[in-house]
Amino acid sequence: MGGILKIAFKLLVNDRGKFTALLVGITFAVFLMVMMTSMFAGILTRSSSTVINIGAKMWVLDPAVNNVSSSIPMPDYVQDVVRSIDGVKYAVPLYSGGAQIKLKNGVYQAVTVIGLDDASLFGRPELIKGKIEDIYAENGFIVVQDAEIKKLGNPEIGSDFEINDHKGLVVGIARANISGLFGIPTLYTTFSRAISYLPSTRFTASYILVEPKSAKDIPHIKQEVGKLGYQALTDDEFIQKISDFYKFQTGLGINVMLMTAISFIVGLSISGQTFYTFILENLEKFGALKAIGAKGHELVSMILFQAGFTAFLGYGLGVGLASLIIMSAKLRMPDYAAQITNWNLGVAFVMVLIIASISSYIGIRRVIRIEPFDIFRG
């Protein structure tokens, strides 16, 4: 560290009151920004949990579908046509729907039922207990062990329940890669059992899962599916579509953006005001430095260093605090949907940079304008 920056560092940290106020301001702002965007990221990820857990490369769906749970069933011919498209390795139907099950204790519980293609079981979950072939057994269902499993009374293999006047039998316990958004337990069964046990519309396939032969076949597949009046999306595109729905059509995104903006303004206000006061109180000293022979760019570098150091330290503390809170919350509430991603770390970082830039700009303007002559005049 250059001597002049060391002086800047000591001037900053030795003024403990102001330094603490600056740090608290930036830490608090970063904490709020990271918390808000992390919760949003967690919600968005969970909203696409089925897409992520099933793991298909392409999904064929009705263009009006904007999230997994609001599927619009497609006629069987769509699957036949999709299978015949050049570049399609295979295509299988997927059932996704909601149901009420009656537990042994008489309580009704809403569940999400995923019906996997009978022949391939494409999109099957990873089992913790049981064997996947048991899904073909009479009344066989696989329960996903996530935060919601307790709502089913923590079933084990052999536990049974009633679903739409049919018996359901737990034949396996599966691991959940990502839990769902709405706090509803998930059951897997075969496609044929799903459509026979649950009330169905005339069309039954919620989605058609497609495995392209290669990535370069994807545009052609999309084009051909489009001709049928349906939409073929890669998994990433489907996730994006779902995210866009929650961001722009539910008010969720706007609210989170508003909260993030408010956090930013609060952080900027506290930090900007404190830093400005810090500069004002040291203005004469900066003027004295100028009189002694400090050049303008040296004073600017001092202020930038002070603002930057505080911003980065506050950023680290804010991110650390948010991580700690999220980790603690997840220990007590497994359902807690917050996820720190590179994206929200980046957003917070950019906002902290803006806070530091605006704060230092205000300070630099004052310091550049101070005339050493004013120091003599007193």
Partner 1 sequence: MASPAIRARDLAKWFGEGDARTMAVKSVSFDASFGEMLYIVGPSGSGKTTLLSMISGILKPNSGSVLVEERDIWKMGSDELADFRLNKIGFVFQDYHLFPKLTTLENVAIPLILKKRDWSESMKVAREYLDIVGLAQRAELPPVKLSGGEQQRVAIARAIASRPDILILDEPTASLDGDTGRKILEFVRDHILNDTRCIIIVTHDSRIFEYAHRIINMEDGRIVGEEHEK
Instruction: Using the minimum distance from each CB to partner 1, give the nearer residue, 15 or 211.
Output: 15
- Least Å distance, CB 356 to partner 1, is 21
**Whether the Cβ atoms of residue 180 and residue 42 lie closer than 8 Å to each other:** no
| Interface with partner 1, residue 236, by CB under 8 A | no
- Least Å distance, CB 277 to partner 1, is 14
| Interface with partner 1, residue 291, by CB under 8 A | yes
Instruction: Using the minimum distance from each CB to partner 1, give the nearer residue, 277 or 323.
Output: 277
Write out the two tokens for 211: 């495995």
Pick from 149, 157, 288, 358 the residue near partner 1 by CB under 8 A: 288
Pick from 162, 237, 298, 335 the residue near partner 1 by CB under 8 A: 298
Pick from 218, 294, 303, 348 the residue near partner 1 by CB under 8 A: 294
| Subset of residues 1 to 40 that bind partner 1, contact rule: CB under 8 A | 2-4, 6-7, 10-11, 14-15
- Least Å distance, CB 312 to partner 1, is 21
Binding piece for partner 1, criterion CB under 8 A, among 22-30, 71-79, 284-292, 342-350? 284-292
Q: Of the candidates 88, 74, 64, which has an alpha carbon nearest to the alpha carbon of residue 245?
A: 64
Q: Which residues are CB-contacts of 213 (< 8 A; sequence separation ≥ 6)? A: 87, 88, 89
Pick from 106, 158, 199, 293 the residue near partner 1 by CB under 8 A: 293
- Least Å distance, CB 292 to partner 1, is 6
- Least Å distance, CB 293 to partner 1, is 3
Pick from 63, 229, 296, 334 the residue near partner 1 by CB under 8 A: 296
Pick from 290, 344, 355, 363 the residue near partner 1 by CB under 8 A: 290
Instruction: Using the minimum distance from each CB to partner 1, give the nearer residue, 289 or 345.
Output: 289
| Subset of residues 70 to 99 that bind partner 1, contact rule: CB under 8 A | none
Pick from 244, 284, 328, 369 the residue near partner 1 by CB under 8 A: 284
Instruction: Using the minimum distance from each CB to partner 1, give the nearer residue, 228 or 283.
Output: 283
Instruction: Using the minimum distance from each CB to partner 1, give the nearer residue, 3 or 158.
Output: 3
How many residues bind partner 1 (CB under 8 A)? The answer is: 29
- Least Å distance, CB 308 to partner 1, is 19
HEC string of the chain equals CCHHHHHHHHHHHCCHHHHHHHHHHHHHHHHHHHHHHHHHHHHHHHHCHHHHHHCCCEEEECCCCCCHHHCCCECHHHHHHHHHCCCEEEEEEEEEEEEEEECCCCCEEEEEEEEECCCCCCCCCCEEEECHHHHHCCCEEEEEECCCHHHHCCCCCCCEEEECCEEEEEEEEEECCCCCCCCCCEEEEEHHHHHHHCCCCCCCECEEEEEECCHHHHHHHHHHHHHCCCEEEEHHHHHHHHHHHHHHCCCHHHHHHHHHHHHHHHHHHHHHHHHHHHHHHHHHHHHHHHHHCCCHHHHHHHHHHHHHHHHHHHHHHHHHHHHHHHHHHHHHCCCCCCCCCHHHHHHHHHHHHHHHHHHHHHHHHHHHHCCHHHHHHC
Residues that bind partner 1 (CB under 8 A): 2-4, 6-7, 10-11, 14-15, 284-285, 287-296, 298, 371-373, 375-378
